[in-house]
Amino acid sequence: MFRATLSVLALVGLALGTTTDARADHLENDIVQAHSSNYYTYDCFHPSSIGVAVIGDGDTDIDVIVTDAYGNVVASDLDYTDHCVVQFFSRSGMTYTIEVRNLGSVWNQYEFALAD
């Protein structure tokens, strides 16, 4: 997973528009079951540009959807891979929900990174 960690940080850097790997404020390995979702929350205390990257194990299609406290979709990556990158601009005092959705028929192990 070390190689994936470097890749996920590179993707977060890409989402934030930097030419170098980003420093992840939240980085973890997780598993999402088949036809299921995992959820993360992010509480914003100051306005900033947020980058989220997810790199799966290659077995299924993973999507990432970010919603604000009112249920509005603020960012999404809905392609047909399990490499997802999104960027959004957070508002102070807002809580965001990040959904990692597995569209496949088997579980997918992935790395999740968030940087602000």
pLDDT at 2: 38
DSSP 3-state of 94: coil
CATH of 2-115, one of 2.60.120.380, 3.40.50.261, 3.90.25.10, 3.40.50.150: 2.60.120.380
Where is pLDDT greater, at 1 or 82?
Answer: 82
DSSP E strand stretches across 26-107: 26-32, 37-43, 48-56, 62-67, 73-77, 83-90, 95-102
**What whole-number percentage of the chain has pLDDT above 70?**
79
DSSP 3-state of 7: helix
Whether the predicted pLDDT of 57 surpasses 70: yes
Contact of 103 with 62, CB cutoff 8 Å:
yes
The ranges assigned to domains in the chain are: 2-115
pLDDT at 7: 52
* DSSP-derived secondary structure letter, 111: E
Residue type, 17: G
What's the mean per-residue pLDDT of the chain?
A: 86
Whether the predicted pLDDT of 73 surpasses 80: yes
